[in-house]
Structure formats: C-alpha cells, structure tokens
A and B are shown apart, each in its own frame.
Chain A
Amino acid sequence: MEIPFIVNARKDTGLFNSKVGIWLFLASEVTLFGGLFSGYLFLRLYADYPWPERALPVLPGLINTFILIGSSVTVVFAWAALKMREWRKFQIYMWITLICAVLFLGLKAVEYNAKFHHQGVRLSSEGSVQDFAYLEGHVHYAKLDENGKMVEVSKEDKKANPEGVFSANKIIFKASELTFALKRPAHEAYVKEILAQAGDEHKITLIGDYRVPNAEELLAGGKNRAQLESSEAALVVADGAKLSIDDLDDMEEAFLDARAHDKSIRTEFLRASWSWIRDEKGIEEISNLVITTDLWKERMAEDSEKIKPLMLSAPGTVTYKIEPALTLVWDPDDIPKLAKTEIKLRDDTVVKGELQPSPMLLGVDAIDFRHTAMRAEEEGIDPLEAIKQSWVLTHKNSKGENDLKKAWECHQAWLANLTKKLDEMSDKKGLEGEDRFVPTENDKYRVNWDQMVAYQKLDFDVEAVAAASADGSLQRSGLFDLSGFAGANHNNYKFPHVEIPRENVGFTSTFTPKWNTYYAIYFTITGLHGLHVIGGALVLGYYLFFGRKMYDSNPEWLANRVEVGGLFWHFVDLVWIFLFPILYLM
C-alpha cells in the first residue's frame, strides 16, 4: 500500500501532503505563540509593579537576530541546491544553517547563564510605604566558623578550600530537635542533607520507642492495651535509634497500616449503624437528617465505646533529639514557615531550636527605587521622601559606612545635570508643557550597573560625578561595550558590598522566572523558541547526515522534506523577529 501525493503534488490542490501538513502545523504554532504573546500583553498591561523596560543587554539579541535571518537564507539555498541536484552545495548550505543554529543557542546560553547568577532582592521594612526598593547583584560566599556563626569567604578562598562554603543566601538554624510527620513520607534528600551536615560529632537519636500494637495480637484478644504495647511484636523502632531513612520508612509504613486498620474498623461500625437504623428502626428520613436524631447520637456513643479497644492508635509523629545542637544551613525555598524557635520544612518536618542571624551577602550592581516611587505616588507621598526611608539609604555597615547611599547621591548629581541639559534642549526648541524633555523613570529612580561602575571609578565622589557629568566624561556602557556583553560583570568590576539582615529580605530570587512576571514570560517564550530551534536543527541535521540514501533513490522526495523543514525554520525565525523587539527593545 502506498499513500499518494507524497512526492508529487495533487493536481487540484497543487500541493504534496507534507506541505499541507506543515502549513497546518504552522497555523497551530501561530496560535501557540499567539497565546504566549497575549500572555505577555496581559501581564504587561496589568502589572502592578514597574515593568522592566529595556532590561536585557541588546547586543546578544541583536547578533542572534542576524544569525537567524542568515540561516533562513542559507536553508533556502540548500533547498534550491537539492532541486538542482547539487549535493555538495546542499551540504555546504545546510552546514552553515546548522552552525547558525548552534551559535544562536550558544549566545542564548550565555545570556541565560548571566541571569541564573544574578540575584534580585526586594527589600522590606516597617513603615507606611513598605520599602519595595530592589537591589540587584551577585550573592557572595560564606561558611560557618567554629562557633556556628556565618562568616564571609572570598572567591579566592572558596577556590582554595571549597569545603563547607555556601552562597550567602541561606537560613542558619541551630537545631536541637526534629519531628517527622508520619502521615507524609519524609523527603529522603532532606534526611540525607541533615545527616551529612551532622557528620559524626552530632548524634541524632529517637526519643522513646515507636510502638504500634500488633493487629493480629489485638484481634486475638486476651491482652490489655499495656500488654499489647509492651509486646515484642509492637516494637517498630527502639528508643535511641540513630536517624535513618530506613527507620523512618518503617515507622511510616507501620503508621499507615495502623491507620488503615483503624479506619476500616470504624467504617464497618458506621455501615452497621446505618443498616440498623434503616432496617431495624425503619427510619427513611433524608439520610443526613438522621444524624441529628437522639437515636443516632446514642448509637454513635455506644459505637465509640466498642471501637476504642479495637484501635491500634499509632502515634502520628516521631521526634529525634540532636546532641549537641547542630547548626543547619538550609535553603530558604525549602522552608515554607520560618519562626524564631521553629522551622517547618516542605515535607512537614518540624525543626526546633534557635534561628541564627542569616544575613544575605550581596555585591550590589544596581539599585532600583521605581517600585518604591510607584507605591509612594499611589499613597500620595513624595517619592523622594519614601526613598529616603528605605533600608538602602538608612543602613550602615560594620565600618559605619553606606556605599549605596553614596552611589545614590552621585546619581542625584548626574540626574541634576541630565535634567538641566534636557531643559536647555527644550528651551532651544521652544517646547512647552508636556512636550518638554524630562528624565525617564529609569533615569530618575534606577542606578544601573554601568552607572554604578562609573560612580565607583570616581570613588563615589559627588562633586567629581557632577563635574564629569557636566563635561560629558562620565562613561556609560554603550551598545558595543563587550565588558558588559551579558550584563553586569562582577569579575571586571568591584561593586559595593552589603549585608542584608534576613528580616529586610522581602522577596529574593535569581533572575529566573520566579523574579517577576517579565522574566517569567521572557524565559518561557525564549525557552520555547529555543526548543523549536533545537527541534528544527535536529530535523535539518537529519536530512544533512542521513539524507544521502534518499537523495540517491528519490531526490525530489528529499527536496520536499527540506522544503518543509525550511518552512518550519522560517517560522522559527519569524517568531524571533517578533520576540526581539518586545523583549529587548520595548
């Protein structure tokens, strides 16, 4: 059996099958990306925070645009070569197309990587307008000293001795007791991590025996509860057992079995009571009204007396003590609930002890007050007043200094000069009212990384910055400045360093989809687009590397396939042409 119109076109439609197929598929792709683009619009229009405009480095995106456009041309040449039965040419053009795809993905990886290492912090502090200032930068490293206090580790020291070093965005908690909830399986990775951090010095042992009466012994009768519980068969894990995932699994299983046993007995009793009230008492009221009658309540009271001795009643939690107390270093993402004396992990394990100072150490490359200003304006407060109360400007480091405040003052000097220049320009052109040039929100409330570098080079000297701004010698990064190719480069520059107390960390994340809805949509659309590039490259690569056989037997068929693959490739290019402006330029 053969399917017609695989190679040659059907006369009345003028198309071969896969060409119809690919156009249909592309139509569905249009609505797929259409959904995502409308998501972008929706999120941007209804954002309740200042949308990050032009936040991405443009150069990698621009290069990628040209790479993709170029590859779209070469893929057509490859197809044309096949049509003219020039295998060698086909190979060359297809190779170029594939190299373009790899270059594109490589640049994408560089961009992504920079973001994965870039941390954002939304500060929070008490006050009428909450802080909402953002700091951006790189998290520094730290480790625990012999007293369990967090101390900073430089990059060089980390390289020399990486043991025990963690990135300084962790919860430090002095733990003395662990309580596991048996109705949920203990997360193995957590238990392993606790054991690893405990090492040999800290002993983690079970408090009291974990005993569950044996169901068979119980049903056989003849023993009271105390006898049942002290029986050999009841022991699951003995007092003083060291913490292990196997023990936890055993206890969990014993608990779940006991719960199933108890519940099935209770179910039988309840079922019997319903038959009794229906059959013997002949009550046919709407079933849920029956339970409000005295007859039913009495029966339930009787039942509960009968049920009690039949229950295994396994305890639902087990507690381990830690001696001596252990200082745990834990990822804040895994702690849904944090209190001074107790933390709860995501698997409902409760750790008791004492919260230690867990500051976040950050090399700050950008300060952003736009959200603070937005909130202040909503509440009718002067934005500059609200900014003054921000932790960014009020805190002091151990030396009693505040580099960020200096940077902000430099920025004010730069802004004053900018405002003056814009005023002059407006006057020269004779602009009035709303037509006059004014600084943007970004100019007014954000110190970008390249400005931070420029102010730092002048030692945060306000007068020097003012002078440099006036004579135009203050350097900012341009489009083709490769030192900041994918954003702030912490290897080349030394940025101000701050220690943010945990209570001032409102929300923090690397520049991943979690950071805000802009990065969420950025990663989702570009990620999905990247997957399309990979998929297209795989298909085109298949034609290049495994197409020779088909070329020899049926070159027209191969040309059809390349044509279809090329159409897909053009679509992928087209998506990028929409993506580049909306994500990088607007």
Chain B
Amino acid sequence: MSADSHDHHHELPFWKKYLFSTDHKTIGIQYGLAAGAFLLFGFFLMIVMRWSIAYPHEPLPGYLSWIFTDGWKGRWLDDGKVTGETYNMFGAMHGTIMVFLGVVPLGFAAFGNYVTPLQIGAPDMAFPKLNMASFWVYLAGGIVMCMSFFMESGAAKSGWTNYSPLAGYADRQIVNQLLAGQTQWLIGLVLLITSSLLGSVNFITTIIQLRAKGLTWMRLPFFVWAMLVTGFLLLLAFPPLEAAGIMQLMDRMVGSSFFMPTGLYSAADDVALDLSGSGSPLLFQHLFWFLGHPEVYVLLLPAIACVAEIIPCNTRKPLWGYKPMVWGVIVLGFLSFIVWAHHMYLTGMGPVISTFFQTTTVLISVPSVILLTSLIISLWGGSIRFTMPMIWAAAFLPMFGIGGLTGLPLAFNLADLHLHDTYYVIGHFHYVVAPGILFGLFAGVYHWYPKMTGRFMDNFLGHLHFWPSLVCMNLLFFPMLTQGMAGFHRRWYNGGEGYIEKASDGVNVFGQTVADNISLNEVMTGAAIALAIFQIPFLLNMIISYFWGKKVTSDNPWDATTLEWATPTPPGHGNFTFDIAVYRGPYEYSRPDHDKDFFPQWEEPKSSAPLEEPSEKPEKETTEA
C-alpha cells in the first residue's frame, strides 16, 4: 500500500461504515459483538439447566424466568419447573450456540479478522466483500437457529451432536417442517458452514498472498500460523458435516432414510414409521465427528494464538521454541483429521477401529504438549509484567493444562467404557473451553482493546472480573470430574435424584455413590450464578473504558514487536500509513545488540546488515485500468 492511497478515500455513510462494511476491522468487531451476545445467551440457557439439575422440584426463580412470556412458560415449564423436554432443548442449544455461534466466531472470526491482516501488513483481507458476506450469513444462521425457541416446536432438542435417529424423529409432528426447530437447526447449520467456508478461503488466501515484503513464513507471528492452520481445519473438516446436514435435511423434509435404520417404531402412535429404512445412524456420527474433532482445535488454536502473542510481549523475551511450535501446530492440524472416532468408542464400530483411533489420539497429545510446554517455558527467566492480558494468559496455562490432561483417560478405550457420557467428559471439555479457551480470548480482548479503541481497559474492573471468574470456573467444573467418576450421566435433567431412593437399599452401590455426590450440584449451580454476576464488571469495563478509559500515549502501548502495532490507533481504512516492510522475526525482545528491550519487525536496521534485508520484495502491482 502506498501512503497516498489513504488520502483519497472519502467518508462513508453510517450503514456502509458500521453495518455493511467491507473493512476487516469493522467485520472483526461485528463478529466479536455478535459472538459475545450469543455467548451470553448460551450462558443463560446453561444457568436455567443448572437450576433444574440442582433444584428439579423448584420453580425457576424470578431472576431467571422474567425473560419468558406467560404463554411460553405455559408451554415449556411445568408449574414453573423445567421439564425434561425443555432441558433437552436448552442443552442442545447451549452446546450449539457456545460452539458454533459463540467461541468459533469470537476466536477465529473476530480475532482472526481484526488481527491477522494487521499482523501480516496487509491493507485488508484478500476478498473484502466475501468477508462481509460471511458475517451476514453467520448472523442469518444464528438467527434461524434461535428463532425456533419461539415457535410451536421449540428449538432443536436432540443434543448439539444432533444424532439420528433421534434428530430425524424429533418434531415430526409439525406439518410444515420448515417451521420445526429441528429442521431450522439444520438450515442454520448449513448457513454457518457456508459462512465459515467463505471465511476460511479468505483467511488462507490473505495469509498466502498479502504478506508484507520481507515477511517470510518463518517470520510470521505464531498467531498467524495458528490462524492458517485453523483456516485449513475449517476448510476441509466442515464440508462433510455440511453433507451430513443436507442428508439429514432430506430425511426431515422429503422422508428419506439416510440415517434412519430399518424397523423404527413410534411408541406414541403405536405404529411403524413410514420410512424405507436401511439408513445408518453410524454414518451420521462419522460425518459429524469428522468435523467435530477438528472443531475442537478450531476452538482452541485462536486462544493459544492470543496467549502466544501476549506471553513474549509481557515477559520481554522471545517465544521459546517458535519453530517447534509452528511445526507442532501443523502436525496438530493434520492429526486432528484422523482422531474423530474416539468420540464413538461405544457405538459398536469394532475393536480394530477403536484401537487405531486410540493410537492417533494418544499421538495428538504430543504436539499439544509441545505447544503448552513452549508457552510455559517462555515464562522462564522473563521479567514478567503482570498486565491485565498477562494475568489472563497466565491463568490459561494451568487451566488448559487440567482440561488437556483430564482428556487422556478418555483417549483409552478401556477407561472410556466407564467415563463415556458421564459428567467427567463434561468437566474435561469445559475445562478446555471455559477457563482455557475463553480465558485466552479474554486475554486477547484486554491485549488488543487499546489498538481498537485507543484506550486501555480499566485494571480494577479487570481484576474484579478475573479473580472471581477463576474461582467460580473451578468451583463449577472441578466437581464435574468427581461426579463423573462416580458415574453421573451427562443428560440427567434432575441431577440424578431418581437414584437417591435406591441409596437406602444397601445393595445398590450406584444409588449410594449418587447420594454421596449429589450435593455438589448445588455448589456448581451457585458457582454458575456467581460466575454470571462477575461477568458484569467485564461488560461495564468494555463500555466505560471506551469512553473514559486511560488514553494510550503511543501507537505501540505494550512495546510489542509485531506489525499490528505499526498502525495508527485505531487503524484507519487500509491500515498502514507507510510502506510496510519486515526486517526480522516476530519476537525480538531484549536483544543485547539493541538499545531498547524490543525490536519491532518493521523497524529498519541501523547498519544495513545484509542478513536483515527483506528477503524478497514482491513486485508492486501494475493495473492497466
């Protein structure tokens, strides 16, 4: 980009600038706000569920039920209590919203969109209009999915994995299937997949094509590498789920039997279902988890990416093991395609296949551990500044560690026989996602907020957000591991109270273990509600700091080295005000031969050492127009 091309862009009307913008930064913020709203909604659904688990015989308290209309409560609550059907619906939508509408858009789409082009020195994404389209398709998908809460059928209710034949049968009574929640879930899913496909094509192309001169592959910040791998995961793993979604849509709309086996029978109507049969429920699971597992890394990598930027910046030393981390993330991406059936050990697919997937699953822990260990070693010997982002990033490390290590027993067939579908699984992946990934993303928000707004976020509110969140997260998720090992099933809407009576029967060991651990339900519910309360400081912080936060004094307030800090604050349309060129690697902190403790990528070397010349200068484009 030449400097002068900045001057002749004119002021855009409001709707073009903020609503239908093609600027990657605006789109990133749009994604962030939408994903944040969905996260809050998904969180709310979870609190309603947790209420039902801890207090199945008590009506929802006023502070949870005020949001519903009387008519809605009449349909979906039993005298104010959550019914099993409603719990299923909330459970399915909690998972869907958190994964597809919350964390992925926040991590990959919001941070990726805002930061990636800046970090590679690009004026924008390679296909700006496509970028805008992916946001609006995503939003349409989210709205279609959530709209069904207000319809006769209610929203989808067959788990976020949407297994057939359950998912093929639910809501069948609705005459116009387009208005059934279970169908709208599929339509929404197809839209979301379309959105992420457009997004991932855009990301990868941008990273390959629009790197600034001198920004060779091994000079890319780790963040960009992680986004590149995430892009490939979305690109290649999502379409098989789209195929499955289309097939299930056919099952629902035109009565085909892709996933409906022979001999299905409806107990409610006492008739055999009018289907050809011979479909395969296992096929759906394979196609689902072919996405489902890479999706876990789609969730994780953006968070690790944020942490990998924040740690070197706040320890004032280079990222330890940059190259192993890069190769690690590539291997991780590759392996994540061949581990999917470890979600299916108990489907009866056979011991040979299980053994294969057990092996690959154990293999994938190697690159994961490389990533985490490198980040931990990066702390070693650094003069750590405990800024707000750094505190979150530091908490990410042990929390994600717990999440990762509790996954190991699940990788083994034998242990999984006991743990499958228990709260242990829930505890494991929530440790990964909530105090792990979300903490990493919070760190990212605090880190890049000054670049986005020109003001720091408030430290006091930040601490008020961080410490209670850390405590509540652990109070919420650690008991799940305990309950899971005691055999608590993950889909009990009443928290297992049905087993308490059996506890009085001395022979019934399971009843006894349930009775011993059921009181943890109340601890977790309390922690969930407290956790919700302590997100308020964060929301306030976002708003208050935008207007009254401490102003940044330079474009590079954290004294960081990567290219996004070379832009004006906040960056204008087209991003850079000078011809950007890169002279060195991304994490040149505390170089003994340099007077300051950081040496930004874009700063020209004082003596023109030949080694630090930009390696290759791509020719400037000549257009004939």
Contact = CB atoms under 8 A, between A and B. Distances in A.
Same complex: yes
Interface of A: 1-8, 10-13, 15, 17-18, 20-21, 24-25, 27-29, 31-36, 38-39, 42-43, 46-49, 184-185, 187, 189-190, 256-257, 259-264, 266-267, 270-271, 274, 286-291, 332-334, 336-338, 344, 346-348, 507, 509, 512-517, 519-521, 523-524, 528, 553-554, 556-557
Interface stretch (B35-43, B91-99, B278-286, B594-602): B278-286
Given A3-B210, A514-B276, 8 more contacts: A1-B5, A28-B238, A184-B173, A260-B73, A270-B58, A271-B59, A333-B255, A507-B274
A5 B210 contact: yes
B79 A266 contact: yes
B258 A43 contact: yes
A49 B278 contact: yes
B621 A256 contact: no
A25 B201 contact: yes
B581 interface: no
Contacts of A260: 69-71, 73-74
A263 B74 CA distance: 6
A517 B279 contact: yes
B240 interface: yes
A15 B210 CA distance: 11
15 contacts: A4-B209, A7-B621, A13-B208, A17-B126, A24-B205, A32-B239, A32-B240, A42-B282, A46-B280, A49-B278, A264-B70, A286-B518, A512-B254, A513-B254, A514-B255
A337 B247 contact: no
A121 to B, nearest CB: 12
Contacts of B240: 31-32, 34-35, 38
Contact of B278 (A6, A184, A516): A516
Contact of A554 (B173, B200, B625): B625
A509 B197 contact: no
B205 A32 contact: no
A32 B193 CA distance: 11
A257 B155 CA distance: 21
A24 B201 contact: yes
B170 to A, nearest CB: 14
Looking at B208, B209, B257, B618, which has the most chain A CB atoms within 10 Å of its CB? Answer: B209
Interface in B561-583: 573-574
B271 A337 contact: yes
B79 A263 contact: yes
Contacts of B518: 286
A48 B202 contact: no
A519 B80 CA distance: 47
Contact of A556 (B54, B174, B624): B624
Contacts of A13: 208-209
Interface in B149-206: 152, 172-176, 197, 200-202, 204-205
Given A21-B202, A28-B238, A263-B73, A524 B250 contact: yes
A12 B213 CA distance: 10
Contacts of A39: 243-244, 247, 258, 283, 287
A519 B173 CA distance: 25
Nearest to B260: A517
Contact of A513 (B255, B277, B616): B255
Interface stretch (B262-270, B309-317, B358-366, B605-613): B262-270
Contact of B618 (A10, A29, A347, A516): A10
A515 B276 CA distance: 6
Looking at A20, A190, A274, which has the most chain B CB atoms within 10 Å of its CB? Answer: A20
B623 A347 contact: no
A517 B518 CA distance: 46
B458 interface: no
A48 B175 contact: no
Contacts of B247: 36, 39, 520, 524
B202 to A, nearest CB: 7
B450 to A, nearest CB: 24
Given A34-B240, A288-B56, A516 B175 contact: no
B236 interface: yes
A267 B80 contact: yes
A21 B257 contact: no
Looking at B152, B240, B269, which has the most chain A CB atoms within 10 Å of its CB? Answer: B240
B429 interface: no
A336 B255 CA distance: 13
Nearest to B244: A35
B77 A11 contact: no
Contacts, number: 272
Nearest to A51: B278
A524 B152 CA distance: 29
Contacts of A46: 278, 280
- Contact size range, B: 35 or more
A556 B618 CA distance: 19
B126 A21 contact: yes
A189 B179 CA distance: 15
Contacts of B57: 287-288, 290-291
B295 interface: no
Contacts of B210: 3-5, 17
Contacts of A31: 236-237, 239-240
Contact of A524 (B70, B237, B246, B290): B246
Q: Which 5 A-B pairs have the closest CB atoms?
A: A35-B243, A267-B80, A35-B240, A32-B239, A513-B256
Given A39-B247, A43-B283, A554-B625, A266 B80 contact: yes
Looking at B79, B123, B283, B518, which has the most chain A CB atoms within 10 Å of its CB? Answer: B79
Contacts of A266: 79-80
Contact of B287 (A28, A35, A512, A524): A35
A288 B494 contact: yes
Contacts of B279: 43, 517, 520
Contacts of B172: 336
Contacts of A5: 126, 209-210, 618, 621
A495 B618 CA distance: 73
Contacts of B243: 32-33, 35-36, 39
Contacts of A43: 258, 278-280, 283
B301 to A, nearest CB: 18
B553 interface: no
Interface in B72-107: 73-75, 77, 79-81
Looking at A17, A25, A47, which has the most chain B CB atoms within 10 Å of its CB? Answer: A17
B593 interface: no
A310 to B, nearest CB: 13
A1 B1 contact: yes
Interface in B31-59: 54-59
Interface string B228-260: 000000011111111110110010001111100
A317 B179 CA distance: 23
B270 A28 contact: no
Contact of B5 (A2, A27, A288): A2
Contacts of B282: 42
Looking at A17, A39, A46, A287, which has the most chain B CB atoms within 10 Å of its CB? Answer: A39
A334 B256 contact: no
Contacts of A2: 1, 5, 123, 621, 623
A301 to B, nearest CB: 15
B519 interface: yes
A28 B257 contact: no
A286 B519 contact: yes
B274 A263 contact: no
Nearest to A265: B79
B124 interface: yes
A10 B209 contact: yes
Contacts of B256: 513-514, 517, 519-520, 523-524
Contacts of B618: 4-5, 10-12
Contact of B269 (A256, A263, A271, A337): A337
B235 A3 contact: no
A26 to B, nearest CB: 10
B621 A28 contact: no
Nearest to B273: A336
